A and B are shown apart, each in its own frame.
Chain A
């Protein structure tokens, strides 16, 4: 297994995780406001929100390492009308800027709550368009392994899976930090966190199920493609006797499936420590699994012809 495209692996994984986290926080906000007051909900979601920024910026910085001549990087906007790669970078930067503006407004209490909500919705929409642009980059007629509906679907599944579990991890880390700093325990916030983690556990299982429909469908269409390029891509997927591919499947099944189920259970009645360990482990396993999957995705680059 070679990792020559590591800047693209890091960029796509971190950017998708950022978008997914932002969307997941939005969903938490929508559900939580039915049960708790805005202050309690914000107390839960704001620290997670502030963590998204550095992750997204880290992803964008990693993408620069892919370029042979990063000094010309601003030329990337020349092709907005024709190239999906231009659109990917445009929407990536737009998501980072809109997210930063929203985070600052939320932190300083600027604008009215309604306007902040609108800003958050716009940011989430830009993020989802970013993930679409990222996947369109790979829909090349000449690369059969990439030119499939499964590319955008897989990118969105990775986005939501990593986003949900990253947000869950942020919640338990926050709770742990509050406890170790000896801050007063907030029963309302704790209840809210537990019901959010229940939802995250269910979401992880559902998204895993979707992934396990898409992956075999994709692999069989690749096997049936018939072109020499697709054959080489299938062989790349099975590099090392398929060990990396199997590891990727087992890890995501453990992280999102088994630990997703435990997350749901421990969120109902587990101790805070067990809950934290479960949430962090689920996220870590899925992060490794999706990263492995992305490395394999780039290793499958074989174009038709010569």
Chain B
């Protein structure tokens, strides 16, 4: 049986240091203006106290982990579904792209996407997004974000292969429930990762997302 081709990203949260090299490499490669950041690194922070009644002590458990997110080129892309112009399409390689010649800049996809992947560029008046560095892939190079990762925890590939090797988890806070859009994203959860819907933490860097 041959599966339809579908590219996806992989991230190991345990060793992501939150350095944002991926974010900056993406921004540089795509010449993105201030306010448009296709790949963002979300810092999720939480914690609680454990009370030991016998010893009469309080032990803190605090955690922070990072999630590097761009577009997950979903199987059920809400951006494509809601787009009134058919500017937003899912290609043969599963990559979701926006055609600037069709886009009217209504920003409906921005409302719908739970990953904030489509982003309006005020200079061009249209929505822009991650195209998986299609030009780099054509030259046989890695996407800019993947190539930039200094700890080599951000990878890409055929989603079937990524899932076979790393599992299928994408239901980690603060990401949305993957059943909504079925993202092509695989995550090795941080040792303190909280599951979607049972998070106790919060996004510590909302101004950067």
Contact = CB atoms under 8 A, between A and B. Distances in A.
A67 B85 contact: no
A188 interface: no
A305 B176 contact: yes
Given A78-B86, A79-B84, A140 B112 contact: yes
B75 to A, nearest CB: 15
A72 interface: yes
Given A76-B84, A142-B176, A306-B115, A69 B125 contact: yes
B41 to A, nearest CB: 10
A66 B84 CA distance: 14
Interface stretch (A81-89, A191-199, A243-251, A258-266): A81-89
B76 to A, nearest CB: 10
Interface stretch (B24-32, B45-53, B98-106, B129-137): B98-106
A84 B112 CA distance: 12
B180 A68 contact: no
Contacts of A54: none
A68 B82 contact: no
A301 interface: yes
B80 to A, nearest CB: 8
Contact of A70 (B40, B104, B111): B104
Contacts of A305: 114-116, 174-176
Nearest to B107: A68
A306 B175 contact: yes
Give the dominant DSSP class at A's interface.
loop
A229 B108 CA distance: 17
Interface string B137-179: 0000000000000000000000000000000000000111100
A97 interface: no
A79 B85 contact: yes
A37 interface: no
A69 B103 contact: yes
A68 B108 CA distance: 12
Contacts, number: 112
Contact of A78 (B84, B111, B115): B84
Given A68-B107, A142-B78, A306-B174, A228 B85 contact: no
A116 interface: no
B5 interface: no
A225 interface: no
A73 interface: yes
Given A140-B78, A142-B176, A67 B104 contact: yes
B82 A83 contact: yes
A140 B110 CA distance: 11
Interface of B: 40, 42, 67, 69, 78, 81-87, 101-108, 111-116, 120-122, 124-127, 174-177, 180, 202-203, 209
Rank and list the top 10 A-B pairs by shortest CB-CB distance, nearest first. Answer: A68-B105, A305-B176, A305-B114, A68-B125, A75-B85, A86-B84, A69-B125, A85-B84, A79-B84, A78-B86
Given A66-B106, A305-B115, A306-B69, 4 more contacts: A67-B125, A140-B82, A306-B67, A306-B116
